Amino acid sequence: MTETTTSNGAGGTTGTTRVRERTTIEIASLVADAKGCEPWELEPLSQVTDPDAIEELLNGDREVAFEIAFDYEGGRVTVTSDGDVAYEVPA
């Protein structure tokens, strides 16, 4: 069994243009909430992935669907091209 924490992205929509906050901040906040700590107490995200690459992918071609996943802070983070973020921790 796993425990999953999800977010539907950090931004909202304005017309047909999706407004995104920095997804890497959303990842840190989501993981910190799941772990019951503050984001600055986590391992730097840049130690396990390239935060700029995640942002570039999400701000790139909206016609290309993708999903990226990586291990972080004892769980698995998944980010989709829709901006959804999930953090799964083995129970």
String of DSSP letters for 27-90: HHHHHHHHHTS-GGGSPPGGGTS-HHHHHHHHTS-TT---EEEEEETTEEEEEETT--EEEEEE
Q: Express each pLDDT in 3-38 by its tens digit.
A: 555 555 544 433 323 334 588 899 999 999 999 999
Q: Express each pLDDT in 44-58 by its tens digit.
A: 999 999 988 888 888
Write down the pLDDT at residue 90. Answer: 86
Beta-bridged to residue 14, according to DSSP, are 17
